[in-house]
Structure 1
Amino acid sequence: MSKRFRKGDKVRWNSHGGHAEGEVLKEITSDTEAGGRTVRASKEQPQYLVRSDKSGGEAVHKPEALEKL
C-alpha cells in the first residue's frame, strides 16, 4: 500500500530548483482536472493536490513523490 496523507499535512517534494515544501490541500481519489492537468486517480491509487509554501502554486503529486515533514 502506498503512503497516505491527510489535508493539512506538511510535505516536501522534488521541484525544478531542488526541493519544495508545502501543504496537502486534498486527496484525489477519482479522475479529475487539478493542478492544470487531467489527473488519473482512484481510491487504491490516490494523488494529492499540494500548495507550495514559497510560491503559493498548486500541483498534483503521487504519494511516492511526497515526503511527510
Structure 2
Amino acid sequence: MSASFKVGDAVRWNSEAGEIHGTVVKVHTRDTEFMDRHRPASKDSPQYEVKSDKTGHLAMHHGEALKRVN
C-alpha cells in the first residue's frame, strides 16, 4: 500500500529532469482528466496533484511515486 498524502504536504518525486520538490495541491479520489489525459483514481488509489516549488508546474502522481519531505 502506498503512502497517504493530504493537501499542503511537502513531497518529492523523480522526473526526466531529476528530483522535483513540491506541494500536494489536490487529492483526486475519482477518475479525472488532467492535461488532456484520463487519470484513474479511487479512494483506495488516489492521484495526487502536485505543484513544483521551483517552476510552479503541475503534475499528477499515484502515492507510490511520491516521498514525504520533512
Aligned residues: 68
- The SS at the match of 2:64 is helix
Deviating above 2 A after TM superposition, structure 1's stretches of 4 or more consecutive aligned residues are none
Taking the aligned partners of 1:60 and 1:17, their CA distance within structure 2 comes to: 16
Alignment partner, residue 24 of structure 1: 24
What RMSD, in angstroms, separates the aligned Cα atoms of the two structures? 0.8
TM-score, length of structure 2 as denominator length: 0.91
Unaligned runs of 5+ in 1: none
Alignment partner, residue 9 of structure 2: 9
Taking the aligned partners of 1:4 and 1:56, their CA distance within structure 2 comes to: 22
| Paired-residue identity, % | 51
Alignment partner, residue 48 of structure 2: 48
Unaligned runs of 5+ in 2: none
